[in-house]
Amino acid sequence: MLKGKSLLTLLDFSNYEIESIINLSFSMKSFVNLNSVPKTLENKKIALIFEKPSTRTRISTELAVKLLGGTSIVLSKSDIQLGRGETVEDTARVLGRYVDGIGARVLNHNSLEILSKYSRKPVINLLSDVSHPLQALTDFMTVKERFGTYTNMAFIGDGTDNVLTSLMEFVSKMGLELRVASPKEFRPKQEVWRRIEEESEKSGAIIEFYEDPYEAVRGVKVVYTDVWVSMGQESIAEEKKKKLKDYKVTRDLMRYASKDAIFMHCLPAVRGEEVEDDVIDGHQSAVWDQAENRLYTAMAVLSLFI
């Protein structure tokens, strides 16, 4: 039973619960296509907090609330500044009196934990500096849609990436295989990796790290990348780009993957940096399916948790 719980990290849930979210995501896609969406959020109010700018997350989540019959109140950085002036605890207490649930895209993951604790309402992680669970759920929905099952994946680029963290969490819970190609200095922090490693031992998941991207993608069905420089990293942008320049997804790299491999990217992409145009625009690209599926995953999560 997920109703009333917060979704801050996938590690908090069983493989059965994670699978139930994926299954409902597929159902929501069918409901939308049939124009028969259940109004599971009717008479419910959802606060959507965006400390960081957003395109796909804001549109998909706001639209999900609307399709499910709810009302969304969008608060951007100019409307709300968590922990600056008013404490996050006080903001949470007030929001908890007004709304039935909170979705938040925050600069600091700790803000999510405080919002959940003090609002006493379900809080959905729409992205933090640590993780992005909605994206990982969307990604593996897309993988299952393409192949009929979950399959092995290689992530190329920054091993400290927040989307990668959630991909690893999903893999560790579901007993899958993930290869990560990155320079040694771009590996997950120990506090992040510790719990993922523990879950992997329980499920039989295999998560391996490589320095050679060609070795990492050999024979895999999914090749995934993300931007090299996230918001807030502008001061180290040029240094990161130099260190990651050999981790670009190219047509040549894709040839080492399985013949039926797909390319994935959570977007926005910096074309010419982490991926070449002819890959993201090519026949192996599943990027636009991913973007569409964000809506259905958001609908599933909102319906189950709020």
Token readout for 222 is: 């999914």
Catalytic, out of 58, 105, 179, 265: 105
**Binding site annotation covers 120?**
no
pLDDT at 86: 83
What pTM does this model have?
A: 0.97
> What residue spans define the domains of the chain?
13-129+293-303, 131-289
Superfamily of domain 13-129+293-303: Aspartate/ornithine carbamoyltransferase (3.40.50.1370)
**Binding site annotation covers 57?**
yes
pLDDT at 82: 74
Distance from chain centroid for Cα 83: 24
State how far the Cα of 49 lies from the Cα of 63, in Å rounded to an integer: 15
CB atoms inside a 10 Å sphere around CB 7: 25
**Binding site annotation covers 277?**
no
Q: Which fold has domain 131-289?
A: Rossmann fold (3.40.50)
Q: Are strands 101-105 and 123-127 parallel, antiparallel or unpaired?
A: parallel
Q: Residue for token digits 């993608």?
A: 217
**Binding site annotation covers 283?**
no
**Binding site annotation covers 135?**
yes
**Binding site annotation covers 266?**
yes
Catalytic, out of 58, 226, 265, 290: 226
pLDDT at 101: 99
Say whether the peptide bond before residue 183 is cis (omega within 30 degrees of 0): no
**Binding site annotation covers 187?**
no
3-state per-residue secondary structure call for the chain: CCCCCCECCHHHCCHHHHHHHHHHHHHHHHHHHCCCCCCCCCCCEEEEEECCCCCHHHHHHHHHHHHCCCEEEEEECCCCCCCCCCCHHHHHHHHHHHCCEEEEECCCHHHHHHHHHHHCCCEEEEECCCCCHHHHHHHHHHHHHHHCCCCCEEEECCCCCHHHHHHHHHHHHHCCEEEEECCCCCCCCHHHHHHHHHHHHHHCCEEEEECCHHHHHCCCCEEEECCCCCCCCHHHHHHHHHHHHHHCECHHHHCCCCCCCEEEECCCCCECCCECHHHHCCCCECHHHHHHHHHHHHHHHHHHHC
Catalytic, out of 58, 161, 266, 290: 266
Q: Residue for token digits 């192996």?
A: 284
Q: What residues contact 40, with CB distance under 8 A and at least 6 apart?
A: 68, 69, 302, 303
283 given a catalytic annotation = no
pLDDT at 83: 63
106-118 burial, b at 16+ Cβ within 10 Å, e below that, comes to bbebebbbbbbeb
- The angle, 0 to 180 degrees and rounded to 10, between the axes of the packed helices 133-147 and 15-33 is 70
Q: Are strands 71-76 and 45-50 parallel, antiparallel or unpaired?
A: parallel
pLDDT along the chain (306 residues), means of 10: 98 98 99 98 98 91 99 90 80 97 97 98 98 99 99 98 98 99 96 97 99 99 95 80 97 99 98 98 98 99 99
Phi, psi of 56 (to 5 degrees): -60, -45
Catalytic, out of 58, 179, 265, 294: 294
**Binding site annotation covers 212?**
no
294 given a catalytic annotation = yes
Matching CATH topology for 13-129+293-303 and 131-289?
A: yes
pLDDT at 173: 99
